[in-house]
Every structure is written in C-alpha cells, then in structure tokens.
Structure 1
Amino acid sequence: MAAKPTSTATTTIQAIPQKLQTQKKQTTIEQQEQRIEDVLSFPILLSDQINESVKEAKIFKLECSLVGKQVDRLRQMLRSAARLSTSDAAFYSRPLRRIAADVSKNLEKTLTLVRKCRRGSFFRRVVTIVSAADFRKLLNLLESSAADMKWVLSIFESGAGAGGIVLSLPPIAANDPIISWVWSFIAALHMGQLQDKIEAATELSSLAKDNDRNKQIIVDEGGVLPLLKLLKDSSSSQAQIAAASALQNLANDIERVGSIIDQSGVPIIVQVLSDSPMKAQITVANLVATMAEHSPLAQEDFARVNAIRPLVTLLSIDLSMDDSTLKHSKQSIHTLVLINKEMENKTSSYSKRAVTSQRKERENENPQVKLSLKSTCARALWMLAKGSVANSKRIAETKGLLCLAKLVETEEGELQKNSLMTIMEITTAAESNADLRRATFKTNSPAAKAVVDQLLRVVAKDSDEPTLHVAAIRAIGSLARAFPARETKIIGPLVEQLSHRNQEVAIEAAISLSKFVCPENFLCVEHSKTIIEFGGVPPLMRLLRWNNERAQLNGLILVCYLAVHAGKSEDLERAGVLNAFEGVDRAFIAQHPELKELIHQAIYHLSVFHQSHSGMLAQRPFLAP
C-alpha cells in the first residue's frame, strides 16, 4: 500500500519516488483492500509535488503554468471526492478507484516531465528531450482525467438526489460504454432514492439480459450486494421484483451464482420468498429456480435454509381438501396445514396485523397471478430436486408429492409440466437411492399411490405433448423396483406406448420396461412374462426395424431380457426374435459391446426351448463368448 503523506515537505518530496514505484507494483486486488481515502491520497500527493515543480521550472514556463492549472483543477476534484467518500456510508467507490488509478498514472507522467524543466542551463536545454508536443499530449491526458473526475463526481451527486441516473460517457469508458452505465446504475443502487434504485435495477436487468459479458461486468463491479439489499427492502414489492429480476438474469453461470451465495444471498432470497406479496414471490421463485439449475452449491444452500418448505406451502395455495386423490391422506394434508401455519409464525418482520393483510391479499389475488406463482414454485422445486437425493427426500418429507400429484391431475400447461418434471426428478433420485425409494414409494403410501395413479393417467392419455409422456414413462421406469409382481396395471400402459407414433415416447417406453426386466430387478422373470402377455413383443419387433440407432439399441436390450427370462414363450418364436438377432449388424455390436454377451445369452435361452433354432449360436461365432 502507498505510504500516507508526512507532515513535512522534505520528507514528502523524498518519499515520492518510492511511492511511485510502490504504486506501480500494487495489484488491483490490493487496491480494493485500501480505504478509498488512502487511494485518493496518492494522486493528491502527486498534484502537490507537481505544483512545487511548476514553481521551480526554468524552461517551458508557460507550458508548465498551463499544466499547473489543470493539476490544480484535478486536485480540487480529488479532494471533493475524498470528502464525499467519508460523508456517505453507502458510498460506491469502484468507479472512483478505477479513475483515481488512471489519474495517478497521468500525474506521474506530469511530474516526470515538469521536473525536467527545473534547470535552465544551455547544456540542460540541449540534452533534455522535452518539446512543446510533449506538453500538448500531457495536457490532453490531464483534460481527459478532469473529465473523468467531473463525471464520477456527477454520479455521486446524482446518487445523493440531485438529478437521477447519469448516462453520459466519460473518456475512460470511451471504448467500452457499458462500464460507465454499470457504474452509474450501481451507484444509484447504493446512494439513490428508492425510485432511482428501482430504475437502476431494471436497467441492470436489461443489460444482463443482453449478453454474458454484461453480466460479468455487473458482478465484477460489485452489483450483486446492492441488488440483494434492494431485494431485502420489504417496503416496496416493485423494488423486490426489479432486484430479483436482475439477479435472475445474472445467475445463469455457476461462478456468478457463487457470487450471490458469497454475499449471503440465499438466506435473503428465502426470507423474501416467505414474506413478500405474490407478484414479488413469483420473481423470487424464478430466481431460486435459476440459481439451483446452474449450481449444485445453490441447491445445497437453499435446502440448508429450508427453501423447500415455503415453496411447497405456496404450491398448496387453494388446495382442495376433499379431492379423491387426497382423501386417504388426512395426516399428510394436516401436515400441509401445519407447514402453512409454521411459515406464518416464522414471519418475524411482520406483525400479526400485517400477516392478516397478507392472507387477505392472497385470497383476493388474481387467479392468473396465483397460477403463475404455483408454476414458478413447481419449477423451483424441479431444479432443487434435479440430481439431488437429499432435496428429493426433503420435498417428500414436506408431503410435496401430494401437492404435485394433485397439480398433475387438475392443471395443464406450464404448471402441470413443472409438477410432472419435479416428480420425475424425485423418482430418478429414488431409483439411485434404495432408502429414499423404500421410505417414499411404499405400496401402502398414499403419496406414492397418488403419484403413480397420475403418472399412469398421463401415460394413457392421448396427447400431442410428448414431453409429458416421456417424463411420466421415465418416472414409472425409475420406480420399477418398487412395484410388486401383482401390479400388472403398471406394465400394460407402458407396453401400449411401444406403438406410440412419436419415436421418443416409444423409445422411452422400451427403456422403462427394460428396468422392470433387467437382472437387478428381483421380479424380472414375472415382469417379463407380463410384458409378453400384454402383447409387448410385436411392437417391440417393429421398434427394431426403425432407422434409429437409439431405438434399435434399447429395443434389442429389452428383447434380450425377455428372451433370457421368458425364453420358453411361443410369442418370441412366432415374432421371429432369433431371426432378428441374425440380422444384427456386426458393426452395430462393435459400437455397443455390452450387447455381445446379452445377445449371446438370449440366443442360448431361445435355442434351449426352440430346437429348430439350436444351431444359431454356432452359425454366429462372433457372438460366442
């Protein structure tokens, strides 16, 4: 760090060369650690030294005098900035630090040039390389520095209420105007009136939406913290919406999400999610979803501060208590009611009167706003559950599965889709975690029954939305090991989807059915027989004939499992399964080596029961183990 100026002129003059060297070696990080007063003290000290050198000039006196006037002007502005920085606790120093560093470089050049003019001997004139052109260049640099200082003082004065956001362009940002706009908006967030802060947050949101470079500039220049402070301002839902929207537009990258987390943003976000009016809650729930989507750390942090409970609570607004899907789960519904009451009791920033007003506001809110809120909350739960066993378990523990099942049944569009995708992520987690599967998807569990019933309803429904079919089929497949052999109603709808007109749906059906009949499933033999009984072989053989590598691969895997576990079936022989194996291309097997042993086992089992094809294995030596 640069040493503070001493009280005597002699010590100060001697310290200047050392201070100049120190300043050159300092990194940006070290400068940020300095108090802004210390940052400004160095160029002020330089200007004092230039003033002394101007008085001692023996040559180019007129030019030195002009330089001295420009430096005096700069010194006054630097001192004004120093006074402002100490008088306002919310002072935003980033642009001033950057400009002060640039001013210091120009003042260093000024001091070096003016010092060369202190002696006037003929020999000095001859050997000293100083010209009028050097002074013209220097005066241009000082003029630019003065314009930068004038601009930065204007944004601080505007921030104090003298005229709103400044959008003029200082010389330092001539090649990159975005940086000056970002500085101006962030200064308004720190120091402006409420309406200026809302406008600044809206402008930052718009800039962030344009491209990732703008996003990074906003984060690098310290825009996250004032946005979080504005988000926390419960006096204005408009301010909260503007701040949440800006933060959401920043949060599409793991590092930028990390910046929000590092500023203790997660607890603030969850508190606002719990306490705010519905329209603000919509934007905050979107922010939760975006952060969780792009950062596993955000998933963990939101879970740690219990973000899932308010999301499930908001999802259960206006939930019908008499619905047939939920009538067998009075205890679970009671739990939802308790969660709602608990959230209201935890709202420490509101009085009982405020909570009552909030409840009335929600009751009278536009149905479209409620629908939008539920949809964003469902998406937030989807992103929190994605790839996370812990969060999936938390959602199940809050009885969120019941809400999700109800919404899949009664809603359509975005809300239905987001609810279904959340269920799909929870079932995916259950597939990889036996404890979660056993605890949440027991056959006698009302929540599990409600979920499975709705998944089957979506699978069986004739819809032009393949995304819903794929999600429901995938979810059922993830639960394959949770179904007993007697649950044949699960198999039938999946078998029907093997003939679906959409290839992705048919392929997903084959993948899910494979999970029922793979060796890891204890009931693979029983399920294999059920698939054949429901007529699964003919559509499966058609799947193998598609000109689609993914369809052929997953179709082969399923038919191999059926042959291994139910090779005695006449349906397999009539369908020509062995001939289908004969037609498998060698190159295809080479690309998928896991098929070689599986096809070998399938041919062996079929040959045991169907003697007319007993020579198949010998005829295809490349399939031999």
Structure 2
Amino acid sequence: MAADDPTPLAQLLSVPIILSDRLRHAAAAATSFKSECSAVDNQAERITLMLRSAARYATTTASLYDTPVRRIVAEVDKNLSKALALVHKCRRRNILRRLFSIVSAADFKRVFSLLDASIGDLKWMLNLFDCDGGGVILSLPPIATNDPMLSWVWSLVASIYRGGFEGRISAVNELASVAKDNERNKKMIVEEGGVGALIKMLKECDSPNGQVAVANALLILADDGERVRVIAGEMGVGVIVGVLGSAVMRVQVVVADLVARMAEFDAGVREDFARENAIRPLVTLVSFETFVDDLRGGGGKQSLHSIVEINKQIGRNGFGSFGYKPGGLEGGGGGYGRRERGNETPEMKLKLKISCSQALRMLARGSVSNSRRITETKGLLCLAKLIETANGELRLNCLLTIMEITAAAESDAELRRAAFKTNSPAAKAVVDQLVKLIKDSNNPALQIPAMRSIGSLARTFPARETRVLVPIVEQLGNQNQEVSTEAAIALGKFTCPDNFLCAQHTKTIIEYRGMQSLMRLLRANEIAKFHGVVLLCYLALSVAEDEISEHGRMLTTLQGAERTYTTQSPEFKELISNAIRRLSVYHSGDISVKMS
C-alpha cells in the first residue's frame, strides 16, 4: 500500500468508534442546548454504525485499497473531536466555567456541518467497498469537494483492486488517461497508491489486453526519477522482468519500452533490472531470428563458430537463445515459445526488436556492470549483426547501445580487455561495422556515434590498425562540422599522452594528410575550433623530430590560440603551453641548422 501509516486498518478504525461512543454519552449528559445535543447524538449514531461496518469489512477482506479509508478516518476523527469538545461545554458547570465557555447556536451549526461531511465521506467509503462488481463511483465525497480529481483517482484505483475483469482494465485505461493530462495528476496517482495497484494487476493478470493496459499506464507515470523509484519500491522490477520473459509479443513491446523509460530516468533502477536478469531476455528478443536467417542465407562472412554455437542453443532451447528460458509467472501468459513468436507479423517483430534495443541502450548507459553483462550474453555479436543488416531506428538503437558499452569500456580497463580483445570475433565484428559506417555512411546520426565508439576504444588498437584510424582522419575534412568535430575528439583519444601508442598514431595522422584538414577545422565555429586546438596540442606533443615541415605551422597556430583562449581552464592553458614549449625547442634548433 502507498499509505505511510503502518497502523492496521482495524486498529485505526477503533479510535473514531470509541470517540463516537464518547460523543453519544456526552450528548446524553448535556444540560444545556439539549435539542442540539440530541441532533449531535443522532449524527454520532449514524457515524458509529458506518465505522463498525467499515471495521468488519477491513477485518474480513484480504485485498483492500486503504489509502482513501485512512484519509477519511483521519478527517472523521478530527470532526468527532471538535463535536465532543463542544458537547462537553453543555454539561452542568459552575458560574465561573460557564463564563469562560460560552456556547452559541452558530457553534452547533458548524459542528452539524462537520458531522454531516463525515457521514457523507463514510457513506462514499462504504460504497467504495462494494465496487467488487466493477465500475467506478461517480459521486463526490465531501472530503474531495475542493479537489474532485482526488475522489476520481481513489475510485479508479479501488476498481483496479476489487473490480471485475473488464472493469479493472477499463479503470487502468482511465487512470492512464488521467495521468496523461498533467504532472499534478501523475503525482496524485502515485501518492494515492496507484502504482501498487498497477503492479499487483500486472503480476496477476493473464490477459494480454490487461497487461498492455497496465504497462502503458506505468509507462506514462515513469517519466520522472522519483516516480520510477516508487515503481521499483513496489517490487515492480521483478514483476516487469517476469512479464518480459513470458508474455506475448505485443505485451513485450510495451514492457520493453517501460524498461527503457525507467532505466533512462534512474541509474539505480538500471542495476535493479540487471539483478533481476533483464539483460539476457532483452538480448534474446532483439536477436530473435537474426542468426537463424543468416545461416539460411548462407552468408560466408557470418559463418563464425560462435554464431553456429548460438544457433545450436536456439535449436535446443526454443525461445531461449543464449541459453535463456523464460521463467513462469503467475498469470504471466505461460509458454509463449519460439513457434508462436515465429507466427507474429514482421511489423510486430520489428517493433519488439526496436523496443528491446532501446532498453539495452538505456541499461548500458553509464553502467560498467550492465555493459559487461551485455557482452557476456553474446550481445556484441548480435548488435554488430543488426547494425549491418537492419535499417532505421533499430540500426540506430543498436549503434547507440554499442556507443554506451564502449564508453563504459573506456572508463574500465577490465571490461575493455575482456570484451574488446583484438582477437575476439565479437569485438572484430563490432569494429568492422563501426569503420564501415564512418567510411560509407553519409548520415551524421550514424557517423558520429560510430566515431565516438572507436574513440572510446582508442587504447585497444595497435599501431598497425590504420584501417581504423584513417577513416576518422578523412572525416576531419567533412563538410558537416559536427562530424568533423567528432572526428577531432576521437583522434584526440588516439594521440593524447595517456595513449601508449600516441606517437605512432600521430605519425599515421600526419602521413594521411590529417594536418591539412585540421587547419581547416580551426577556422570553423568555436566548438570545432576548441577541439581542433586540443588535437593539435596532442599532435605537437607527440610529433616526431623528423616532421620538421609541420613544426612551424603547428607552432604559429598554437601561439595564436594561446592568445585567444585566455579564459579557459588551467588544464587547457597548461596543455597549450607544453605543446608550444616542445615545438619551440625543435623550431629553434631547425633555425640554427639553417643559419649555419
């Protein structure tokens, strides 16, 4: 339940029941305003009966949506306390006490109004208990007079808990519609326990229509980190992964979208999904039919031993390529296997792959552990194959997933060594596709993440790997400044002093006329110019002594940049100074030779 109060509901209801009994006794003992106190007694009697009915229901019902009950009971308790305080003043007292506790008819009018409101709230609450057959309550309780949406949300959530099958689905769809309207409604749904109801239904429901409705509602709510954490806190991650592994394909599409959305907005949830083994079924789903179709096509390039082994596993395990078999979940749809999946339309299969690839991308973002898990499930080979064969959004998602994994590998030497060894077929397949995109694609949306990925792996390539470096050098001269800037950033990772082979890579860049393109880049916009200067500094720090023709041009350019970038960070200023100092030594030595 979403309520913060851990007190059992029956115990909570006992307090106003006792209070209402005390109010009735006090009203019977009143010596002044007897008619008014009698009216209060009648109201208190009705309240007592309704509270006792609620208490009986609370003790005999296993699944009860208690959030509105707690709010209403708290309000009833407050109103009864005010009524009791007034009625106590009507008992026989001495003259002095009567002077300081004057009671008027207006006081009773206010109390009558409060008790009438409590009666209306309790009547609405009891109607809420009776909604087992489905449908929502259209009336408005007094407690929600100033905010009608509150009672609407209460009614919808209660229907999700206790309604009939069609009524529950209808309530979920209506709750999703309410959430779409504005942020306030989303916040209210979460605060009033709507997430717990949705997770409960997702776990229990065996209808694809119901599962899609619930997943869509959660997807609308999961656009904020705080709300995502509430979903996870309601044990939603395990339920979501269970449905992902066992539901029909159209349900899996929405659930994969939900995984992606939650992972996008909260880094902690990414680890939660990993602990619940979400990555393996996602890789399985995104690779569905990919390698099988490849073998049927007889493509020589992809007849790698690892692909053959993967397809042997697909044949043995049915649904579960890479050895994954979806676990059963209560009401989760059961055995939706490879045969049923094969009967789906191509459009639905594509949607599922797009959704799963986006989920993998978000799970890998900023996470070394998740990136490692993807590589351990043969995910790299699958992503490389899809980059080669797919188009549009699926291809881009796979590429961006690779970009996230390589970014993680850049920051973690262990992952870099394990997943991107030069003799690894999966790593080779990935690099081949990245290089191909850099060379052959005219689409910056593909070229930029491909170069960023290669740059992240710069420390893994030996000096002889000019096939990787040269295409990026060529992109320094690209007419699109975003592409040329990204090329400069990637080349900077090859030539920075942290790269053990920076001198050899610098020689390759100069040999393939990278300096000419770099000088043109330095005349571009400020962002391009800044990254171009950084690359130029790295080249200057590693340039060989025999590259005398380049020293003077580099030195002049960097001296001008030093005068221009006066407000940059101390690290940047130090980089330029060190580069100028090194070039000055060679340049002065060159002049001395010529003068002699």
What TM-score, normalized by structure 2, do the two folds share? 0.91
Kept in 1: contact 2:473–2:487 (CA 8 A): yes
Whether 2:405 is the aligned partner of 1:405: answer no
1:504-551 CA-partner distances (Å, limit 9, x unpaired): 222111010011111121211111111112211122112212231x22
Whether 2:92 is the aligned partner of 1:114: answer no
- Find 1:259's aligned residue among 216, 219, 230: 230
Aligned partner of residue 65 in structure 2, secondary structure: coil
Kept in 2: contact 1:335–1:398 (CA 8 A): no
- Look up the match of 1:298: 269
Work out the CA distance in 2 between the residues paired with 1:34 and 1:103.
17
In the alignment of these two chains, the number of paired residues is: 579
Summarize the alignment of residues 56-67 of structure 1 with structure 2, pairs less than 5 Å apart.
56-67=29-40
CA distance 1:562–1:122, shift in 2 (3 Å) = closer
Kept in 2: contact 1:40–1:78 (CA 8 A): yes
User: Which gives a bigger RCO, structure 1 or 2 (Cα 8 Å, sep 6+)?
Assistant: 2
Kept in 2: contact 1:420–1:472 (CA 8 A): yes
Work out the CA distance in 1 between the residues paired with 2:371 and 2:434.
17
Whether 2:368 is the aligned partner of 1:389: answer yes
| C-alpha deviation, 1:325, in angstroms | 8.0
User: Which region of structure 1 is more displaced relative to structure 2, 287-296 or 603-612?
Assistant: 603-612
1:281-325 CA-partner distances (Å, limit 9, x unpaired): 111111211222222322222212211110011011121333648
- Find 1:250's aligned residue among 221, 227, 232: 221
Kept in 2: contact 1:188–1:196 (CA 8 A): yes
What TM-score, normalized by structure 1, do the two folds share? 0.87
Kept in 1: contact 2:246–2:328 (CA 8 A): no
Could you tell me the percent identity over the aligned residues?
A: 51
- Look up the match of 2:430: 451
Aligned partner of residue 79 in structure 1, secondary structure: helix
Whether 2:479 is the aligned partner of 1:506: answer no
1:40-62 CA-partner distances (Å, limit 9, x unpaired): 11112222122222222222222
Aligned partner of residue 129 in structure 1, secondary structure: coil
Summarize the alignment of residues 90-489 of structure 1 with structure 2, pairs less than 5 Å apart.
90-119=63-92, 128-158=101-131, 160-161=132-133, 164-319=135-290, 320-322=293-295, 324=299, 327-335=302-310, 338=313, 341=318, 342=320, 345-348=325-328, 355=335, 358-464=337-443, 466-489=444-467
Aligned partner of residue 130 in structure 2, secondary structure: helix
Kept in 1: contact 2:23–2:83 (CA 8 A): yes
Work out the CA distance in 2 between the residues paired with 1:551 and 1:479.
22
| C-alpha deviation, 1:134, in angstroms | 0.7
Whether 2:524 is the aligned partner of 1:546: answer yes
Aligned partner of residue 561 in structure 2, secondary structure: coil
User: Which region of structure 1 is more displaced relative to structure 2, 407-416 or 212-221?
Assistant: 212-221
| Gapped regions of structure 2 (runs ≥ 5) | none
- Look up the match of 1:564: 541
Q: Which amino acid aligns with 1:149?
A: L
CA distance 1:325–1:268, shift in 2 (3 Å) = farther
| C-alpha deviation, 1:259, in angstroms | 2.5
| Gapped regions of structure 1 (runs ≥ 5) | 1-27, 616-625
Aligned partner of residue 231 in structure 1, secondary structure: helix
| C-alpha deviation, 1:338, in angstroms | 2.4
| C-alpha deviation, 1:232, in angstroms | 1.6
Whether 2:473 is the aligned partner of 1:492: answer no
Work out the CA distance in 2 between the residues paired with 1:428 and 1:614.
44
CA distance 1:476–1:155, shift in 2 (3 Å) = same
- Look up the match of 2:505: 527
Q: Which amino acid aligns with 1:367?
A: P
Q: Which amino acid aligns with 1:429?
A: A
Kept in 2: contact 1:608–1:614 (CA 8 A): no
Work out the CA distance in 2 between the residues paired with 1:222 and 1:614.
79
User: Which region of structure 1 is more displaced relative to structure 2, 113-122 or 453-462?
Assistant: 113-122
CA distance 1:136–1:530, shift in 2 (3 Å) = same
Work out the CA distance in 2 between the residues paired with 1:538 and 1:219.
59
Summarize the alignment of residues 50-61 of structure 1 with structure 2, pairs less than 5 Å apart.
50-61=23-34
| C-alpha deviation, 1:451, in angstroms | 0.7
Work out the CA distance in 2 between the residues paired with 1:294 and 1:336.
35
Kept in 1: contact 2:384–2:430 (CA 8 A): yes
Kept in 1: contact 2:243–2:329 (CA 8 A): no
User: Which region of structure 1 is more displaced relative to structure 2, 117-126 or 436-445?
Assistant: 117-126
| C-alpha deviation, 1:608, in angstroms | 4.3
Q: Which amino acid aligns with 1:112?
A: A
Work out the CA distance in 2 between the residues paired with 1:437 and 1:456.
18
Q: Which amino acid aligns with 1:512?
A: A
- Look up the match of 2:51: 78
Work out the CA distance in 1 between the residues paired with 2:102 and 2:242.
66
Kept in 2: contact 1:325–1:406 (CA 8 A): no
Aligned partner of residue 374 in structure 1, secondary structure: helix
1:381-411 CA-partner distances (Å, limit 9, x unpaired): 1111111111111111111111111111222
| CA RMSD after TM alignment | 2.6
1:124-182 CA-partner distances (Å, limit 9, x unpaired): 76654111111111111111111111222222212x11x50124332212223332222
Work out the CA distance in 2 between the residues paired with 1:154 and 1:474.
60
Aligned partner of residue 197 in structure 1, secondary structure: helix
1:58-108 CA-partner distances (Å, limit 9, x unpaired): 222222222222222222222222222223211111101110110111111
| C-alpha deviation, 1:569, in angstroms | 2.4
User: Which region of structure 1 is more displaced relative to structure 2, 245-254 or 397-406?
Assistant: 245-254
Work out the CA distance in 2 between the residues paired with 1:109 and 1:283.
51
Kept in 2: contact 1:443–1:483 (CA 8 A): yes
Kept in 2: contact 1:326–1:402 (CA 8 A): no
Q: Which amino acid aligns with 1:439?
A: A
1:436-455 CA-partner distances (Å, limit 9, x unpaired): 21221122221111111111
| C-alpha deviation, 1:587, in angstroms | 5.6
| C-alpha deviation, 1:595, in angstroms | 3.1
Work out the CA distance in 2 between the residues paired with 1:594 and 1:128.
77
Work out the CA distance in 2 between the residues paired with 1:300 and 1:332.
29
Work out the CA distance in 1 between the residues paired with 2:429 and 2:142.
65
Work out the CA distance in 2 between the residues paired with 1:326 and 1:285.
31
